[in-house]
């Protein structure tokens, strides 16, 4: 009898514990479901009512369709002090920011939004001729305050996640980028401590090889930055973003001889 009572108390205790942990986000989860229902309604609406004055011919729904796929992965650091803080931020409506994934310091991964829906993580952004990266990318936030190293557990989880995303959506190697890459002068994440070279070795983004590089005559490093994808409208900002990613030990905003070699090599890879 005592054993049964103990068991009952334990179960009740566990329920209370988990209930409390998950209960914290009950309202957010409800709001998520409600919004997804609304979007599902939008997708089902066909033929659409035309507001541009076009007269469509008889409705013929094609039989051949599928869902659009994300084509980029944008990596961030949260600049916050805990995962809990980030989860809170992403479940409040007053500042409507979000990402698809949040990776905590212990390597646990929170999936906050279906990959096929648009998260609010990139903001005003440009990469190549792509703008509105929110519409075409998956956002991954790594719990990190910006001045500390990324934990091994985080990077290990990140690599597993990237592998899944790359395979699931056939994301090109070149399209694994950082927030700083797509928003020069405005964003500096993930920080200079982020292991981009390690990612490139696994096929997520490119890295350079300077030993076999001959910088061609008349080489234009800015054009190379543009070919890689950087928005070079503000030259110094573009150089800074490139340095955060590829030469993190260098905090200047000027191109030196080593950079010319790196850029000549990278340009070929991104071409
Ligand atoms: Zn960011």
| Distance from residue 142's CA to the centre of ligand 1 (Å) | 9
Specify the range with the lowest mean pLDDT, choosing from 11-15, 23-27, 121-125.
11-15
- Give the pLDDT mean for 133-146: 98
| Distance from residue 121's CA to the centre of ligand 1 (Å) | 6
- Give the pLDDT mean for 52-60: 79
pLDDT on residue 22: 60
Q: Which two tokens stand for residue 131?
A: 């703008």
* pLDDT higher than threshold 60 for residue 14: no
pLDDT on residue 21: 55
| Distance from residue 51's CA to the centre of ligand 1 (Å) | 36
Our answer to whether residue 141 is catalytic in this structure is yes
What is this structure's pTM? Answer: 0.90
Task: List the catalytic residue out of 58, 141, 148, 235.
Answer: 141
pLDDT on residue 155: 98
- Give the pLDDT mean for 220-245: 98
Instruction: Measure the CA angle with vertex 56, ends 67 and 54; round to 5°.
Output: 105
Q: Which residue has the higher pLDDT, 20 or 165?
A: 165
* Confidence tier at 3 by pLDDT (50, 70, 90): low
| Distance from residue 60's CA to the centre of ligand 1 (Å) | 43
| Distance from residue 244's CA to the centre of ligand 1 (Å) | 13
* pLDDT higher than threshold 90 for residue 33: yes
Range 70-207: architecture per CATH? 3-Layer(aba) Sandwich (3.40)
| Distance from residue 218's CA to the centre of ligand 1 (Å) | 35
Q: Strands 126-127 and 130-131, how do they pair?
A: antiparallel
Q: Which residue has the higher pLDDT, 150 or 61?
A: 150
pLDDT on residue 101: 98
- Give the pLDDT mean for 149-173: 98
Any idea where the domains of the chain sit in the sequence? 70-207, 209-271
203: phi > 0 → left, psi -120 to 50 → alpha, else beta; which? left
């Amino acid at each position: 009898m005592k054993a049964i009572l103990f068991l009952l108390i334990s179960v009740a205790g566990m329920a209370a514990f988990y209930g409390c942990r998950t209960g914290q986000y009950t309202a957010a989860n409800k709001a998520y479901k409600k919004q997804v229902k609304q979007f599902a309604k939008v997708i089902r609406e066909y033929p659409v009512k035309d507001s541009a004055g076009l007269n469509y011919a008889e409705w013929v729904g094609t039989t051949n369709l599928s869902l659009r796929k994300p084509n980029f992965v944008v990596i961030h650091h949260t600049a916050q002090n805990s995962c809990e803080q980030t989860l809170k931020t992403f479940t409040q409506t007053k500042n409507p920011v979000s990402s698809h994934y949040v990776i905590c310091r212990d390597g646990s991964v929170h999936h906050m939004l279906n990959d096929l829906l648009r998260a609010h993580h990139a903001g005003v952004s440009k990469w190549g001729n792509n703008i509105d990266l929110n519409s075409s990318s998956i956002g991954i936030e790594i719990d990190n305050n910006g001045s500390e190293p990324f934990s091994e557990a985080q990077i290990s989880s990140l690599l597993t996640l990237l592998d899944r995303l790359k395979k699931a959506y056939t994301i090109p190697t070149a399209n694994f980028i950082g927030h700083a890459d797509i928003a020069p002068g405005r964003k500096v994440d993930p920080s200079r401590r982020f292991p981009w070279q390690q990612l490139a070795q696994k096929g997520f983004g490119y890295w350079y090889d300077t030993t076999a590089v001959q910088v061609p005559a008349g080489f234009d490093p800015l054009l190379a930055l543009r070919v890689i994808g950087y928005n070079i409208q503000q030259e110094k900002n573009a150089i800074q973003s490139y340095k955060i990613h590829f030469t993190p030990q260098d905090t200047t905003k000027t191109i030196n001889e080593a950079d010319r070699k790196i850029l000549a090599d990278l340009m070929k890879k991104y071409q």
